[in-house]
Chain A
Amino acid sequence: MLKIENLHKSFGDLQVLEGIELKVKKSEVVVIIGASGSGKSTLLRCINFLEYSDQGKIYIEGQLLNEKNEREINQMRARVGMVFQHFNLFPHKTVIENVMEGLTQVRKISKFEAKKIACHYIEKVDLTDKERVYPAKLSGGQKQRVAIARALAMEPVVMLFDEPTSALDPELVGEVLAVMKELAREGMTMVVVTHEMGFAREVADRVIFMDNGQILEAGTPEDIFDRPQNERSRAFLSAII
């Protein structure tokens, strides 16, 4: 489904990713944890080329992606859903217009069809009553659920979540995680960067611990949370749990 080989990335002198190797199977939920600055967000952003890696290969559904080919990258992005920490809803469009945007503009689906698809996914995140509302009127949790619906409407083969609950008030985290759990249960392939250890333990098939641009440890939630092998991951986990 998703394969990353020997990925390197640096910002100036700062080496952010140092030879990342990662394979994600279909319907697998991979949760990436680690301290801030460990490179986990950058890794996620490299997967759909919001950042261009310096070296390494990325395959999606067996296809090696060529960063020089703009069209190929755009087509790939349409099949990879991305959810951002700060939602990034389009403020000049209503909820339903946000969800329809990719359908009409990228997948070239008629407005009529796009509306039906959008309604379906808005219902899925339980916001049908907010369809005609502008994002400014929504709570953080509602915004993030719209952002998830917007990504899902494109019917992606994999969903990338970049700290989707980090900008939310604590009481709003639950509703977003509930949507994500539901997705995982339905068999969506997901790569999630998060600090929500409860979610990782409950939902992840595999947890990856990153530090200084490297994957230090990977395994089932039980392996990582109950029997961390690496000293750095032990220190990190004892600091946050």
Chain B
Amino acid sequence: MEFINVIIKYIPFFLPAAWMTLQITILGIIIGVLLGLVGAFLRISNKWWINAIAHIYIFVIRGTPLLLQLFIFFYVLRQTLSLDSLTAAFLALGIHNGAYITEIFRGSIQSIDHGQMEAARSLGMSYPRAMIRIILPQAFKRSIPPLGNQFIIALKDSSLASAITINEVLLQAQRLAAANYKMLEMLTIAAIFYLFYTSIFTWLVNHLEEWLNVDNK
């Protein structure tokens, strides 16, 4: 009983940190989606040097730990670009997510049957118009499940920002536990917040899929 009372008592102390977690996650996702869109188009280009840019981006970001990327932003780029820690955090998270989302978008664009592009072109549409009107709406729908997965990963990855002084849920748990010695309770509260967020994300993604699934009903 004591355990639950402690948790209820301390939950309010987590609210600012929970808001921080949500902020860096959402900003990281938005930047990631934008970079992913650009990246996917670079990736499917038939010009090798445009392709190479996307390959190098994915190679570097996927091949190094997120913690290292956060450190680079916090210890190096923060000074040179005079960013605050929050900006450094969501830029690093966004660029990190972008590499994975690039591959998600590329995969779903390429999964659309080639006949769709041919049919659009045979009506006289230009390549960009066919992309926007015919391919992307279908590809976007197909990218929702893996994208939802990536969003949940992004949420949990945001905890790494605790290592660069961002006072999000996990860092808050550590700080409170350092003062009240109730490590298990504080970590449990942190876990509750993450589970709460992932449940909402999962629900949203599932419904988005349903709403967009009109054409197969």
What is A's interface to B at a CB cutoff of 8 Å?
48, 50, 70, 74-82, 84, 86, 88-93, 101-102, 105-107, 134-136, 147, 150-151, 154
Q: Is B215 an interface residue (CB 8 A)?
A: yes
On whether the beta carbons of A50 and B123 are closer than 8 Å, the reply is no
Contacts A88-B118, A105-B133 known; A78 to B138 CB distance under 8 Å? no
On whether the beta carbons of A135 and B119 are closer than 8 Å, the reply is no
Alpha-carbon distance between A136 and B133 when the two chains are bound, in angstroms: 19
Contacts A105-B133, A134-B214, A134-B215 known; A84 to B123 CB distance under 8 Å? no
From B115, B116, B124, A154 is in contact (CB under 8 Å) with B124
* CB nearest neighbor in A for B134: A90
Contact mask for chain B residues 135-147; partner A; CB cutoff 8 A; 1 contact, 0 none: 0011001000000
On whether the beta carbons of B119 and A88 are closer than 8 Å, the reply is yes
On whether the beta carbons of A134 and B124 are closer than 8 Å, the reply is no
Alpha-carbon distance between A178 and B111 when the two chains are bound, in angstroms: 34
* CB nearest neighbor in A for B138: A92
From A74, A84, A91, B124 is in contact (CB under 8 Å) with A74
From A92, A93, A150, B123 is in contact (CB under 8 Å) with A150
Q: Is B122 an interface residue (CB 8 A)?
A: yes
A-B residue pairs in contact (CB < 8 Å), sample of 25: A48-B122, A50-B122, A70-B126, A74-B121, A74-B126, A77-B121, A77-B122, A82-B118, A84-B122, A88-B113, A88-B119, A90-B120, A91-B216, A92-B137, A93-B215, A101-B120, A101-B134, A102-B123, A102-B124, A105-B123, A105-B133, A106-B123, A134-B215, A134-B217, A154-B123
Size bracket of the B interface: 20 to 34
Q: Is B129 an interface residue (CB 8 A)?
A: yes
Measured between beta carbons, the chain A residues less than 8 angstroms from B141 are 92
Alpha-carbon distance between A79 and B124 when the two chains are bound, in angstroms: 8
Measured between beta carbons, the chain A residues less than 8 angstroms from B134 are 90, 101
Q: Which 8 A-B pairs have the closest CB atoms?
A: A78-B124, A88-B119, A102-B123, A88-B115, A82-B122, A106-B124, A134-B215, A77-B124
On whether the beta carbons of B124 and A50 are closer than 8 Å, the reply is no
Measured between beta carbons, the chain A residues less than 8 angstroms from B214 are 134
Measured between beta carbons, the chain A residues less than 8 angstroms from B120 are 90, 101
Known: A91-B215, A105-B125. 17 other contacts (CB 8 A): A50-B122, A77-B122, A78-B123, A78-B124, A79-B124, A80-B122, A82-B119, A84-B119, A86-B115, A91-B216, A92-B137, A101-B134, A107-B124, A135-B215, A136-B215, A151-B123, A154-B123
Alpha-carbon distance between A136 and B214 when the two chains are bound, in angstroms: 10
Give B130-170 interface residues, CB cut-off 8 Å to A: 133-134, 137-138, 141
Contacts A50-B121, A92-B137, A101-B133 known; A84 to B126 CB distance under 8 Å? no
Most buried by A among B118, B124, B129, B141: B124
Alpha-carbon distance between A48 and B121 when the two chains are bound, in angstroms: 10
Alpha-carbon distance between A79 and B144 when the two chains are bound, in angstroms: 37
Alpha-carbon distance between A69 and B73 when the two chains are bound, in angstroms: 47
Contacts A74-B124, A105-B129, A150-B123 known; A50 to B118 CB distance under 8 Å? yes
Alpha-carbon distance between A196 and B126 when the two chains are bound, in angstroms: 33
Alpha-carbon distance between A82 and B117 when the two chains are bound, in angstroms: 13
* CB nearest neighbor in B for A147: B119
Alpha-carbon distance between A86 and B113 when the two chains are bound, in angstroms: 10
Measured between beta carbons, the chain B residues less than 8 angstroms from A151 are 122-123
Alpha-carbon distance between A48 and B120 when the two chains are bound, in angstroms: 12
Alpha-carbon distance between A173 and B199 when the two chains are bound, in angstroms: 50
On whether the beta carbons of B124 and A136 are closer than 8 Å, the reply is no
Alpha-carbon distance between A81 and B133 when the two chains are bound, in angstroms: 19
